[in-house]
């Protein structure tokens, strides 16, 4: 699909993009996308992704792969969020929380592969396996869960968890022209544990403690349909991903009765997502994509749970569903042996969260607490805002004489975290002005992909 032009100008432009990408990193797919090509194109890809990036964008796209490929990447970025014009770390210090847990720089490695299964006969060129791994540096699951009054970022601050995606693409074009299906699963780790403590006959404390790291698997299904030679429609549904921590502490047979304490939270959550995309190739050089993602955020239960059976419930987040429009463009240049591409995109990510506010305080049953005829409130500082995601990137492609195709792709994203005035002050201080949030999230990534037959 490379255009028959010299690659000099393209190479220069791509080199500039690579230079801008500086240290390469990656991010959890729901926040930043997965893979440098689709991330550069405004987190689109449902209709056109065709290699390991398809395990997230749409597993049906895997079925387009005719060569085996292995990709390694190193991706990351920097949160530059501001609360009342200050770094969140300053607010955390005011709440007595170590400021090193404030959103800041993040780094991760990405690994992906796509593997056509070389069956013959009727099954020739039908099945393609793919996998994608996002692995934050030295972390499988990072959870920072605070009391509800502490400013926190449950939507955008979800970069501290390993995501694993496995998928199978099936090319049904032999039977239904242009149709591809895909099935996949994403996996996250969650933590569970119990602690039973009792007093033995010798007045010694005895415990039975168990902690378990469990896996959460969530299915993804997708389809792609070629509508003639120029148009492709893609649809994908991703199941909700919820990785929780749940540790019960139970103390029995003691002189002093202690309530059962539950340390429970939901630090990693991606809502059900339904996405549709139309890709159009007006020429061999140009790819255009228009995308809509519907996220079912209204199911979001919030980060924290109550600590004991009769403790008060935390306030409800009251999130709303969102629709995210995205567009992407790719311009390919070069000869068959050497070439490249320039990419750009835009995504609008509306926030599902209402402003941080004084939310109704709930009792153990979830009813609003009343004191002397008045409803009680409690601070709830889930801070989020609309995001405008501007992305760009490029790639170089080299078909070596060894039969190896080598690709280097890079992307950058500037996510503008729109200014927002909330309905509560940053700190519980009299006459303090309402919290104002704004900022940026900057992301860059680089991946090296080797493909061969």
Partner 1 sequence: MRALLAALLMLVSASSARASPPDLLGVGPRSTSLGGAVGADVEDASATYYNPAGLARGEALRLSVGIFHLAPELEINGQSSNLERLGGLSLGLVAPKRFRGVNFAFGLSVQLPHQRLARTRSAITDRPRWELYDTRPHRIFLATGAAIRPVPWLTLGAGLAFQAPSTLVLDLRGMLDLGEPNMASRLETQFAGSIGATRYPHAGVQVRPLDELELGLTYRGQVRLDGRVVVQADADVTLGMVDLAQLALFLDSETNTLFGPQQLNLGAAWRPLPWLRVGVDLTWVDWSRHPSPVAAEEIVLTLDPELPIVELPDEIGARDPTPLGLHDTFVPRVGLEARAVDTRALELDVRLGYVYENSPYPAQTGNASFLDADEHTLTLGLGLRLTDLEPVVRGHVAIDAYLLYSELRQRTHVRESLVDDVGDLVTDGRTWGAGIQLSVAFDPPEESE
Residues 21-80 that bind partner 1 (CB under 8 A): 68, 70
Q: How far apart are CA 331 and CA 106, in angstroms?
A: 30
Q: Per CB under 8 A, which region of 6-14, 268-276, 310-318, 342-350 contacts partner 1?
A: 310-318
Binding residue for partner 1, selected from 6, 86, 308, 367, defined by CB under 8 A: 308
User: Among all chains, which residue has been given the structure tokens 């780790």?
Assistant: 189
Q: Which of 408, 389, 414, 450 is nearest to 44 (CA)?
A: 389
CA dihedral 330, 414, 134, 217 (to 10 degrees): -90
367 binds partner 1 (CB under 8 A): no
Are 66 and 418 contacting, i.e. CB atoms less than 8 angstroms apart? Answer: no
Binding residue for partner 1, selected from 1, 16, 22, 214, defined by CB under 8 A: 214
Are 444 and 411 contacting, i.e. CB atoms less than 8 angstroms apart? Answer: yes
Binding residue for partner 1, selected from 8, 22, 85, 147, defined by CB under 8 A: 147
Q: How far is the CB of 397 from partner 1 (least distance, A)?
A: 19
Q: How far is the CB of 324 from partner 1 (least distance, A)?
A: 29
115 binds partner 1 (CB under 8 A): yes
Q: How far is the CB of 75 from partner 1 (least distance, A)?
A: 16
255 binds partner 1 (CB under 8 A): yes
452 binds partner 1 (CB under 8 A): yes
Q: How far is the CB of 30 from partner 1 (least distance, A)?
A: 19
304 binds partner 1 (CB under 8 A): yes
Q: Per CB under 8 A, which region of 46-54, 218-226, 248-256, 381-389 contacts partner 1?
A: 248-256
Q: How far apart are CA 331 and CA 287, in angstroms?
A: 7
Give me the sign of the Cα torsion angle 279, 280, 284, 287: negative
251 binds partner 1 (CB under 8 A): yes
Name the phi and psi angles at 30, rounded to 5. Answer: -70, -20
Residue 54 neighbours by CB under 8 Å, 6+ apart: 45, 60, 61, 62, 64, 65, 114, 130, 167, 169, 182
150 binds partner 1 (CB under 8 A): yes
Are 306 and 316 contacting, i.e. CB atoms less than 8 angstroms apart? Answer: no
Residues 158-177 that bind partner 1 (CB under 8 A): 160, 162
Binding residue for partner 1, selected from 159, 245, 278, 289, defined by CB under 8 A: 245
């Amino acid at each position: 699909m490379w255009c028959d032009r010299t690659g000099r100008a393209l190479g220069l432009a791509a080199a500039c993009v690579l230079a801008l990408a500086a240290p390469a990193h990656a991010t959890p797919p729901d926040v930043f996308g997965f893979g440098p090509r689709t991330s550069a194109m405004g987190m689109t890809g449902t209709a056109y992704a065709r290699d390991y990036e398809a395990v997230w964008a749409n597993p049906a796209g895997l079925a387009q792969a005719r060569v085996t490929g292995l990709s390694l990447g190193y991706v990351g970025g920097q949160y530059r969020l501001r609360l009342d014009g200050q770094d969140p770390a300053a607010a955390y210090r005011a709440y007595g929380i170590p400021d090193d847990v404030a959103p800041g720089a993040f780094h991760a490695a990405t690994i992906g592969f796509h593997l056509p299964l070389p069956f013959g006969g009727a099954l020739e060129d039908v099945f393609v396996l793919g996998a994608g791994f996002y692995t934050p540096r030295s972390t499988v699951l990072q959870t920072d869960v605070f009391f509800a009054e502490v400013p926190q970022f449950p939507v955008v601050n979800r970069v501290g968890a390993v995501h694993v995606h496995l998928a199978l693409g099936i090319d049904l074009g032999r039977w239904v022209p242009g149709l591809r299906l895909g099935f996949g699963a994403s996996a996250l780790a969650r933590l569970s544990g119990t602690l039973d403590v009792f007093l033995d006959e010798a007045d010694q404390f005895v415990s039975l403690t168990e902690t378990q790291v469990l896996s959460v698997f969530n299915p993804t299904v997708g389809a792609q349909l070629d509508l003639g030679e120029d148009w492709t429609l893609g649809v994908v549904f991703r199941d909700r991903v919820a990785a929780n921590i749940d540790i019960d502490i139970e103390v029995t047979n003691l002189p002093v009765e202690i309530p059962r304490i539950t340390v429970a939270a939901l630090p990693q959550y991606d809502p059900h997502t339904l996405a549709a995309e139309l890709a159009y190739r007006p020429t061999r050089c140009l790819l255009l994509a228009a995308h809509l993602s519907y996220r079912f955020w209204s199911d979001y239960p919030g980060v924290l749970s109550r600590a004991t059976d009769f403790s008060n419930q935390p306030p409800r987040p009251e999130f709303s569903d969102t629709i995210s429009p995205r567009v992407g463009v790719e311009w390919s240049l070069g000869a068959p042996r050497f070439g490249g591409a320039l990419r750009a995109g835009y995504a609008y990510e509306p926030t599902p969260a209402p402003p941080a506010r004084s939310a109704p305080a709930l009792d153990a049953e979830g009813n609003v607490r009343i004191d002397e005829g008045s409803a009680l409130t409690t601070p709830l500082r889930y801070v989020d805002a609309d995001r405008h995601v501007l992305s760009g990137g490029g790639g170089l492609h080299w078909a070596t004489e060894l039969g190896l195709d080598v690709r280097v792709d890079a992307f950058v994203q500037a996510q503008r975290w729109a200014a927002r005035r909330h309905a509560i002050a940053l700190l519980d201080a009299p006459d303090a002005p309402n919290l104002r949030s704004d900022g940026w999230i900057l992301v860059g990534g680089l991946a090296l992909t080797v493909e061969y037959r």
